[in-house]
Every structure is written in C-alpha cells, then in structure tokens.
Amino acid sequence: MEGFWDIVLSKEVRAWGDTPSPAVAWLASHLPAPATVLVPGCGYGRNALGLARLGYRVVATDTSQAGLARARSAFADPAIEYLEQDAFGACGPVDAILAHYFLHLFLAAERSRLLTVWREALRPGGFIVLTALSTRCAFFGQGRELESGTWSNPGWIPIHFETPSALAAALEEQGFEAVHAEERLEPETKPTGQVDTASVYALARKRPMFEGAPR
C-alpha cells in the first residue's frame, strides 16, 4: 500500500487540491482551539495545515515518505509535527482525532484494531471525526467483494463503503459514544476538476468508562 500512495502523493498535481476537507471545520465546531489533534493518514498535509491555521496543535502521521516530504515543504506550520508512523503505532494523548478517508482503507479486523488504538490515544471526553466513502458512492459494488461492504475496485485499492448507522455502530462497539453520523457530499478538487463524492461523516466521543484505560 505504501508504494501505491507514494505514486499518488508524489504527482505534480495534488490529488485532492490544497483546500482542507469540510471535516476540519466540522471538528472545529465541536472542539475549541487550542487543542491537540491527531491526523492519521495525513497524506500531503492539507487537513493538518487547515487545523493548524485554526489554532490547533497537530500531530500528523503517515507511512508515505513522498507524502510526508511534500507536507513538510508545502504544508508546513510550526504547530504541526509530521511523523512517519504506522497507523497502528501508539500516539497520544490527544484531544481529538481527524481520520479523513482513512479507516475505510482497511479490512474489518484492522478497522476494529485502529478504533482501539485511537480510543486509547484520546484523553477522556476526546472527540473523533471519521469520514468514509458511502454505499451511495458511484463506484460502490465495482470489482470484487473481499468482505461484506469491502470491494477491490479495478485500478484502485480495497475500500470499505459505509452507511451512517453502520459507522456509528462500529464506534459504539469500540467504546465510543456516537454523537452524530450523516451522509454528505464531499467536495474534492481532483486533477480532472471539482467532484462531489457521496460520503459518511461520523462524530463520536470517548466514553467515560474508558477514562482509566492506558493511553
């Protein structure tokens, strides 16, 4: 997967443009700055920079050296620490996590493990914002179904497609309090132009019962 993302993130034209996802503003509407936000799978850093410009301290991680190199040169800010780190590596404590279009890149067992890692990274009462491709997405169901709802699309990598209820349920199962989940059209500035992609947004909070858990 690292080789795939190195190719995507090193192209001259940035795959999703320079503007941060609306998920950045959505998180900011629930979490006052300053606070520390973890951005796993940060790519070339557009969302990390968006958070930093709103006054947050940001820890942004990725395994793609090409993505991190671009982030450190074109999307740098004193408030951002870019780290080369595996998605399952320990990180924290943080006040919030923004995982944009990231959780859906993993199979079911890995998704469950990631949610555990992120829950332990959060301080008590901390927020997590997840975004994922929706089952209403135009290319849902293309290719070969690897697991329920997870498809290996031609020319792409395996993607798990979500519904608001399913993503909220997954968060609840892992000890989060699901605050809100909804369908949204995600505006993406692709090399071919502006595209609105059917997506799921979910906001959750770490449950008090995990306040004493190792972080």
pLDDT tens, position by position, 77-105: 999 999 999 989 888 899 999 999 999 99
Burial class (CB in 10 A: 0-12, 13-18, 19+), 162: buried
For 181, the enclosing helix (H) or strand (E) is strand 176-190
CB atoms within 10 A of CB 156: 12
Per-residue model confidence (pLDDT) at position 3: 78
> What's the CATH class of domain 2-207?
alpha beta
Contacts of 78 (CB under 8 A, 6+ apart): none
Q: What integer is the mean pLDDT of 7-28?
A: 87
As a whole number of Å, the end-to-end CA separation of the chain is 28
Query: Which pair of structure tokens corresponds to residue 120?
Result: 């332990």
Round the average pLDDT of the chain to a whole number and report it.
91
Share of the chain above pLDDT 90, in %: 75
* Higher local confidence (pLDDT), 18 or 178: 178
Whether residue 68 is predicted with pLDDT greater than 90 in this model: the reply is yes
Whether residue 211 is predicted with pLDDT greater than 70 in this model: the reply is no
* Higher local confidence (pLDDT), 155 or 54: 54
Tens digits of residue pLDDT in 122-165: 999 999 999 999 999 988 999 999 999 999 976 678 899 999 99
Spans of all domains in the chain? 2-207
Whether residue 9 is predicted with pLDDT greater than 60 in this model: the reply is yes
